[in-house]
């Protein structure tokens, strides 16, 4: 039967055999007691710091008071001094380079008649189990942040439809001082998971050396005891914040016990209050969660004269790395083949972005956020653009194009009109007509270029005469000018009758392009 009282004579015998050097297993078998019972009375005997002679002199009533009573035995002044030193020691051990030996040296300097190093370490171990019976692991300040989701969900109710939406409860805890952050989020999906981690980092106002998630699908694409495969987006997030993702090992509960322990405490301190109130939005619920979380972080830790928040401010905040200037943007990816015009298609937006012409016909990867588009070829970034949201639009960097293509990008209607004006008004008139004949001016660029290039071939005057003759024929294109010049019709003198264009709403005129 559990917790059944045993005869004090057996307690005396346990202590006697222990002092004779017998093992706990031997004492258990010899006295027909469970090993846990034997361990319990030996531990109490050691904590009381009594000699075997003192045990013999005490009666059964006194022994029962010491060993059976639920009251804490009164500690000796020497042991009280030791236990008073341990909270300070626990905080110091979280600093890099501090060991139990250095802490014992500090202790013995203050208490020259204190315990030797082996007893010192043994009592510290017992004290750690007493104040934190579930787990007692030493984590260095600024080293790790543990993250996890609670198993139990919370709910909000839509005030208009009455629809109930389940919410996930996210928890992050710093290993060194158990300073905790929590929030509710719509789901455990990758986007919500990363957003919650980012909110936690901004709550802590710094970045730890490593983030330790549980074996979540949001964090790992493939779990493994030795080398799990981390989600690529989470790796990008870690790179942005200059930290490391260190997943908890499968089947290793000690790796994630801090986060799970924090969840259990928040079940007791936050869930009962939240469950009694009704919320209609995630924002309102999170505001209430953060109020309760502040109380939790300011509550003094068991067996310690300080709170999580005090320990964080004094010991860990300065050890965290600084936050980056900008928040992280989740990158989406797609693949495309560079077209012959030196552009790739971002299919989601139906938009085209330029890349250096050397990558024509190459298969590339596009990584894009809400504000930018980056293009990679074999892990090397070859182009970067601001994201455009106008469908079927071309975003082009002039230096990406070959030299001949760069010249084409400079072609505009006004460029040809200005060029023609510098030669003669008749040439200008002909160029304007050629531009007007096409639905889109870009379709007439080559014809304009062909006409104006005759200046180099036949000279300025012959081109002027050919343009005048073409206007007389009321034909405006490259081909008619070519025939006039080939057949020498530009040199035939005829009466020049100025032709006035009729007013018509479909004729744009040369001023349309100014």
Last residue of a domain, one of 292, 319, 346: 319
Predicted pLDDT at 200 = 92
* Phi, psi for 320 (deg, rounded to 5): -75, 145
Residues 57 and 82 in one domain: no
Tell me whether strands 180-185 and 164-174 are parallel, antiparallel or unpaired. antiparallel
Query: If you search the block for the tokens 């938009």, which residue do you land on?
Result: 351
Span 123-140, average pLDDT: 63
Last residue of a domain, one of 277, 295, 319: 319
Give tens-digit pLDDT for 217-243.
Answer: 554 544 444 344 457 788 888 888 988
Residues 374 and 474 in one domain: no
Predicted pLDDT at 374 = 92
Residues 225 and 104 in one domain: no
Question: Is residue 387 in some structural domain?
Answer: yes
Question: Is residue 406 in some structural domain?
Answer: no
Residues 86 and 32 in one domain: no
Per the model's pLDDT, the better-predicted residue between 509 and 333 turns out to be: 333
Least Cα distance to 369 among 188, 215, 194, 220 occurs for: 194
Question: Is residue 392 in some structural domain?
Answer: yes
- pLDDT class for 181, splitting at 50, 70, 90? very high
| Cα–Cα distance list, 114 to 102, 121, 396, 422, 508 (Å) | 15, 12, 78, 103, 103
Predicted pLDDT at 183 = 92
Q: How many domains is the chain partitioned into structurally?
A: 5
Residues 309 and 359 in one domain: no
Predicted pLDDT at 197 = 92
Are 435 and 447 in contact by the 8 Å Cβ rule? The answer is no
Span 379-408, average pLDDT: 76
Last residue of a domain, one of 67, 88, 117: 67
Asked if residue 138 has pLDDT above 70, the reply is no
Span 248-265, average pLDDT: 63
- Would you say how long the chain is, in residues? 514
Residues 294 and 165 in one domain: yes
Span 32-54, average pLDDT: 79
Question: Is residue 137 in some structural domain?
Answer: no
Residues 306 and 426 in one domain: no
Tell me whether strands 144-149 and 210-213 are parallel, antiparallel or unpaired. parallel
Span 374-402, average pLDDT: 83
Residues 239 and 300 in one domain: yes
Question: Is residue 1 in some structural domain?
Answer: no
Residues 353 and 206 in one domain: no
Question: Is residue 136 in some structural domain?
Answer: no
Predicted pLDDT at 300 = 82
Predicted pLDDT at 497 = 47
Beta bridge partners of 212: 146
Range of the domain at 47: 8-67
Residues 365 and 500 in one domain: no
Give tens-digit pLDDT for 423-450.
Answer: 899 998 988 888 887 654 555 677 888 8
Question: Is residue 325 in some structural domain?
Answer: no
Per the model's pLDDT, the better-predicted residue between 249 and 374 turns out to be: 374
Span 350-378, average pLDDT: 88
| Residue 253 belongs to domain with CATH number | 3.30.420.10
Residues 205 and 249 in one domain: yes
Give tens-digit pLDDT for 261-318.
Answer: 778 888 888 888 888 888 888 999 999 999 999 998 888 877 667 788 888 888 788 8
Asked if residue 213 has pLDDT above 60, the reply is yes
Residues 168 and 264 in one domain: yes
Question: Is residue 2 in some structural domain?
Answer: no
pTM over 0.85: no
Predicted pLDDT at 42 = 83
Asked if residue 503 has pLDDT above 70, the reply is no
Give tens-digit pLDDT for 453-469.
Answer: 888 888 888 888 888 88
């Amino acid at each position: 039967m559990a917790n059944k009282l045993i005869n004090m004579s057996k307690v005396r015998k346990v202590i006697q055999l222990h002092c004779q050097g017998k093992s706990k297993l031997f004492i258990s078998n010899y006295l027909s007691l469970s090993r846990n019972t034997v361990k319990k009375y030996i531990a109490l005997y050691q904590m009381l710091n009594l000699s075997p002679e003192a045990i013999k002199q005490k009666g059964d009533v006194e022994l029962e008071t010491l060993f059976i009573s639920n009251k804490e035995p009164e500690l000796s002044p020497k042991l009280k001094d030791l236990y008073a030193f341990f909270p300070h020691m626990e905080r110091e051990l979280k600093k890099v380079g501090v060991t139990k030996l250095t802490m014992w040296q500090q202790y013995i300097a203050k208490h020259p008649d204190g315990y030797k190093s082996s007893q010192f370490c043994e009592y510290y171990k017992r004290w750690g189990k007493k104040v934190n019976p579930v787990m007692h692991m030493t984590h260095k300040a600024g080293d790790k942040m543990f993250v996890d989701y609670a198993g139990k969900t919370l709910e909000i109710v839509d005030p208009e439809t009455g629809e109930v939406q389940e919410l996930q409860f996210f928890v992050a805890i710093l290993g060194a001082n158990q300073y905790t952050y929590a929030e509710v989020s719509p789901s455990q999906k990758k986007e919500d998971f990363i957003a919650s981690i980012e909110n936690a980092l901004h709550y802590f106002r710094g970045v730890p050396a490593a983030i330790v998630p549980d074996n979540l699908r949001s964090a790992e694409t493939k779990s493994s005891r030795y080398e799990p495969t981390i989600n690529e987006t989470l790796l990008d997030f870690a790179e942005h914040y200059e930290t490391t993702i260190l997943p908890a090992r499968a089947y290793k509960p000690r790796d994630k016990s801090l986060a799970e322990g924090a969840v259990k405490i928040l079940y007791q301190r936050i869930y009962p209050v939240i469950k009694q109130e009704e919320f209609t939005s995630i924002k309102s619920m999170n505001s209430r969660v953060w109020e309760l979380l502040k109380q939790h972080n300011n509550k003094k830790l068991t067996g310690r004269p300080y709170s999580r928040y005090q320990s964080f401010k004094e010991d860990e905040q300065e050890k965290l790395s600084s936050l980056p200037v900008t928040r992280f943007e989740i990158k989406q990816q797609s693949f495309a083949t560079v077209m012959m015009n030196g552009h790739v298609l971002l299919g989601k937006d139906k938009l085209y972005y330029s890349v250096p012409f050397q990558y024509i016909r190459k298969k590339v990867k596009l990584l894009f956020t809400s504000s930018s588009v980056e293009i990679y070829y074999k892990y090397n970034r070859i182009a970067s653009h601001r994201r455009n949201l106008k469908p079927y639009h071309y975003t082009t960097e002039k230096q990406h194009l070959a030299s001949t293509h760069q010249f084409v990008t400079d072609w505009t209607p006004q460029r040809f009109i200005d060029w023609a004006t510098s030669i003669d008004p008749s040439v200008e008139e002909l160029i304007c007509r050629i531009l007007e004949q096409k639905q889109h001016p870009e379709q007439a660029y080559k014809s304009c270029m062909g006409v104006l290039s005759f200046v180099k071939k036949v000279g300025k005057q012959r081109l002027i005469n050919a343009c005048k003759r073409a206007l007389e024929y009321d034909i405006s294109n490259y081909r008619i000018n070519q025939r006039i010049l080939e057949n020498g019709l530009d040199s035939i003198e005829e009466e020049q009758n100025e032709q006035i264009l009729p007013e018509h709403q479909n004729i744009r005129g040369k001023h349309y392009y100014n």
